[in-house]
Amino acid sequence: MDSLKTGIWGDELAQVSKPIEVPTEQTLIEILLRDSTFHFIDNISTPQIETLGQQITSAFKKAAATYSTAGENQFWARHRNTSILHLLRESLMPFAQTGINAGGWSTAINALTKTNGPSWRMIIHLTNPTEAYGVYPGGQSGNPGSRFYNSFISTWSAGKYYTLWMMKESENADPRIHWKMNFTNS
């Protein structure tokens, strides 16, 4: 897709003096599905008129050549090198988790980019009783000094979930409760 986007937009956008954002993949796909003769398909830097089929074939050949020389990076997760950075980003790289084995793509259900993704995933079955499952890419504590700082990352990257406790009022003495906080109006 990267090569196709470059093939479609690159020649015209190279002539623009100010930086310009390339339209998203979804926008490109929608345009090409509506109009296979879209004028941006032709490479204005060549004398011949390129077709959509030629652009797609060229992009595929570039991707295949890159894939054949990628070595260990031919696996999507290694190529992407998804990372979860500390909130202070690059300034605290020792607290980052890099090289996470996660699939997904910025426009897919598991919407991931190199450093962005779903910070909380939750599934709720509205049954009686309610069932809920969730996970987030970090740890229980959020404290870089804690052994639980990044304890959920492997579960999150594998697309798995933890069962969430949907506490009922009758469970206020449950042994899973470790602390209570009382608020008073004073």
Span 33-53, pLDDT tens digits: 999 889 999 999 999 999 999
**What φ, ψ does residue 131 adopt, rounded to 5°?**
-110, 135
pLDDT at 41: 93
Residue 126 belongs to some domain of the structure: yes
Closest by Cα among 112, 51, 53, 124 to 80? 112
Tell me whether residue 150 is in a domain.
yes
pLDDT, residue 137, reads: 83
Does residue 84 sit in the same domain as residue 162?
yes
**Same domain assignment for residues 130 and 148:** yes
Structural domain harbouring 36: 2-69
What's the pLDDT score for residue 126? 94
- pLDDT at position 89: 67
Residue 172 within any structural domain of the chain:
no
Residue 173 belongs to a domain: no
| Residue 58, helix vs strand vs coil | helix
Helix orientation angle between 25-34 and 2-13, rounded to the nearest 10 degrees: 80
The mean per-residue pLDDT over the stretch 56-80 comes to 78
pLDDT of residue 116: 77
Q: Is the pLDDT of residue 112 over 70?
A: yes
